[in-house]
Amino acid sequence: MANYDNLLANVPTDLWIGGKWRKSSDGARFDVIDPATENTIASVASASVEDAKAAIDAAQGAFEGWAGRKPRERAEILRKAFELIVRDAERFAKLITIENGKALSDSKGEVLYSAEFFRWNAEEAVRNIGQLYNAPSSGARVVVQHKPAGVAVLVTPWNFPAAMATRKIGPALAAGCTVVLKPASDTPLTMLALMPILEEAGLVRHFASEIVPGVLGRHSLRQARIGLDLTGKLLADALAESCQGVRWVDGDAAMQAARRIKAAEELALIEEATALAEAVTATALDHVRPGARECEVAGEALRTLLRLGGEYPHVTTPFVASGERMAPPTRLATDKLIRNGDLVFVDIGAMSNGYFGDIGRTVVCGAPSAEQRRIYRAVWEALHAGIDTMRPGATNVEVASAIHARARAHGLERHFLSLFIGHGIGCGSNEPPYIGESFPGAAAVTLESGMVFALEPLIWVPGIRGGGGVRLEDMVVITDGGARCLSRSPYADALLA
């Protein structure tokens, strides 16, 4: 073993789960053998079924935070990992040789080859480009969007212990997926040595232990009370471990309170985002016709969003729902064909310069029925009753009451979507305060000048041919003189007739 001590001194031999090294749950271990000498060179933790479940749970817990990182941030971490592997290429090559048995020259080639998968995918992470094309055997259009799928469970063979892993890890991390890796039991050391590299490249524990303490020290905050906003459990745990003098508390409420009143500069950005959202909505509505698919309408709208310089839609999945799919409302655009007589709802919105605009419109494909007109009129009147009530000193409860009163006049008060009928908006796509929350204990909030809301009453009635679900959504800013509607998109004349 003496010949291997220096090389193996910094190679972990336990399980890397949830950002920490840990023993296997049953204490089991197995030996790693040098095939050239048949010497035992290391004893490695042998994961149990419980350990595998824990790894998947940890990866699932980290998924939302990793998927939510900007593609550029993921790219920079992968690029840094590439550089660190190249920096340590000699060490990795020797590890491969002693556990795999291949010639050192071959091992050096594999290390550089494996590092390239991280560099390549670092460059691909920022090219998450969808597609819009005509189906080969019909007039339909096919819309392709790429988004993180979830946890990637990877199993690799013994013959290329570095390259077969990085070629799987790289694209998964670039796409926004988290990873559970099971290397071959004959050659586990190379991948165990890679974990500190990935951590050093910018993952959670490196940030918490190396970057944050220095920042806190420079600002005399090592013994402070500090709020965390939108922080995953892994980061919160790492900060608690690395900065034990700090009292970490929930900072979400403080951040939301600070963002509640918009500055003049923010209002200008929100109005620009609203204008962009209106252009996106107009494109979608222009493509509503019998025989069009919901996904086709969404695809054309997203093309306008990107062509005009938008960053994201209001939410990850564009909301286009037609016919009975609006009663009850169904979030995801599908390949359903829009038919004559269908109500069609579009809610895609736009993010521009870090701020959101959120517009929703319902139209009819063809001629509406009398019942569809009744529902639309009720929602339209309820929306404007709510806007008319929005002024400094009024409360969100009063706004909701005005909206419900108009729906009650049409006999439709019991048909509201029960979640809420309005929300704050700004650099968050959906933020407090809320209007019309139905659960017990919902906060009553006094409206103030500078607050911005997306007001979006939705009434749906089942059993109506062509659908009986209508939502209308407008962007509203509270001013000293009352509500000012930021959105200008027209309503459906055919449904108001």
Spell out the domain ranges in the chain.
2-202, 206-250, 259-496
Q: What integer pLDDT is reported at residue 45 of this predicted model?
A: 94
The length of the chain in residues reads 497
CATH topology of domain 2-202: Aldehyde Dehydrogenase; Chain A, domain 1 (3.40.605)
CA atoms of 370 and 341, how far apart (whole Å): 11
Q: What integer pLDDT is reported at residue 454 of this predicted model?
A: 96
Burial classification of residue 99, based on how many CB atoms lie within 10 Å of its CB (0-12 exposed, 13-18 middle, 19 or more buried): buried
Question: Which tokens go with 305?
Answer: 């969003």
Q: What integer pLDDT is reported at residue 242 of this predicted model?
A: 84
pLDDT by residue for the chain (497 residues), tens only, comes to 444 556 777 788 999 998 788 999 999 999 999 998 888 988 999 999 999 999 999 999 888 888 888 888 888 889 889 988 998 899 999 999 999 999 999 999 999 999 999 999 999 988 877 788 888 877 788 888 788 999 999 999 999 999 999 999 999 999 999 999 999 999 999 999 988 888 766 666 667 776 788 889 889 999 999 998 877 666 787 788 888 999 999 888 888 888 899 999 999 999 999 999 999 999 999 999 999 999 999 999 999 998 998 988 887 678 999 999 988 888 788 899 999 999 999 999 999 988 999 999 999 999 999 999 999 999 999 999 999 999 999 999 999 999 999 999 999 989 987 778 999 999 988 888 999 987 766 789 999 999 999 999 999 999 999 999 999 999 999 999 999 999 999 999 999 98
Apex CA 14: angle with CA 12 and CA 16, to 5°? Answer: 90
Q: Taking a C-beta distance cutoff of 8 angstroms, is the pair 423, 442 a contact?
A: no
Which residue(s) pair with 134 in the sheet?
Answer: 141
Q: What integer pLDDT is reported at residue 204 of this predicted model?
A: 65
Q: Do domains 2-202 and 259-496 have the same CATH topology?
A: no
CA atoms of 277 and 361, how far apart (whole Å): 11
Q: What integer pLDDT is reported at residue 6 of this predicted model?
A: 64
DSSP assignment of 307-320 equals: HTT--B-SSSS-EE
Q: What integer pLDDT is reported at residue 11 of this predicted model?
A: 87
CA atoms of 435 and 280, how far apart (whole Å): 25
Q: Which CATH superfamily is domain 259-496 in?
A: Creatinase/methionine aminopeptidase superfamily (3.90.230.10)
CA atoms of 91 and 69, how far apart (whole Å): 31
Q: What integer pLDDT is reported at residue 234 of this predicted model?
A: 62
